Amino acid sequence: MKRAFPVAACATVLLVSALSGCGGTSSTGSGTADATASSPADSPAAAVAATSGPTAQSTVATHNAGGRLGTILVDGKGRTLYLFVADKTEKSTCNGACAAAWPPLLSKGEPKAGSGAKSNLLGTSKRSDGTTQVTYNKHPLYLFVGDTDPGQTNGQGLNQFGALWYVLDPAGKQVVM
């Protein structure tokens, strides 16, 4: 299924991808920090990157998105969380330009279950750059730079970086519309 998302978000993804391919990656190889630091401060990439870095304790909760999506997972700020179908284990395969467009939900402490989320499904996984990514039902969790406001689901069903992206339900299963 193809979905369009805002032109500004598309331009940001292309800018981040170009910067990542032009030496914009950090010495850790993630590409997230340096590529998004070069983006304009008011861009969607900068907004997500500024708020997706590791915190003392990340929260995963639920939100009723309505329609066919129903109740989905969100972070502590109400931003939609996604899984990447290419991730076959708890270890993320989304790095560099992928992680710039789809920032991982990071945590410095154990993640916390907010309203509607199940604490027994929460976990963490070490990323290739040494940071700790939050997982839910063994799926690494990501945000999307095209979601500029809490509750948006512009990444749902997109095919980017070699696989599909989906929101998750409270049981940690992908929601396919």
pLDDT of 21 strictly over 90:
no
Looking at residue 3, its pLDDT comes to 47
pLDDT of 38 strictly over 80:
no
Cβ contact 139:86 at 8 Å: no
| Residue 70 to residue 85: CA distance in whole angstroms | 20
pTM of the model: 0.73
User: In this structure, is residue 43 part of a structural domain?
Assistant: yes
User: In this structure, is residue 72 part of a structural domain?
Assistant: yes
Looking at per-residue pLDDT, the higher value among 150 and 35 belongs to: 150
User: In this structure, is residue 2 part of a structural domain?
Assistant: no
H or E element at residue 133? strand 132-136
Number of domains in the chain: 1
Residue in the structure block whose two tokens are 């009723």:
64
User: In this structure, is residue 48 part of a structural domain?
Assistant: yes
Q: Which of 18-22, 41-45, 72-76, 101-105 has the lowest mean pLDDT?
A: 18-22
| Residue 125 to residue 133: CA distance in whole angstroms | 5
> Taking Cα atoms as reference points, which of 113, 144, 130 lies closest to residue 47?
144
> Taking Cα atoms as reference points, which of 73, 70, 72, 47 lies closest to residue 60?
73
Taking the CA atoms of 76, 114, 142 and 111 in sequence, report the sign of the dihedral they define: positive
pLDDT of 23 strictly over 60:
no
Which domain covers residue 34, as residue numbers? 7-167
pLDDT of 172 strictly over 80:
yes
- Amino acid letter, residue 99: A
User: In this structure, is residue 1 part of a structural domain?
Assistant: no
- Amino acid letter, residue 126: K
User: In this structure, is residue 174 part of a structural domain?
Assistant: no
User: In this structure, is residue 175 part of a structural domain?
Assistant: no
> Taking Cα atoms as reference points, which of 85, 86, 77, 14 lies closest to residue 43?
14
Q: Which of the four pLDDT bands, split at 50, 70 and 90, describes residue 53?
A: low
User: In this structure, is residue 94 part of a structural domain?
Assistant: yes
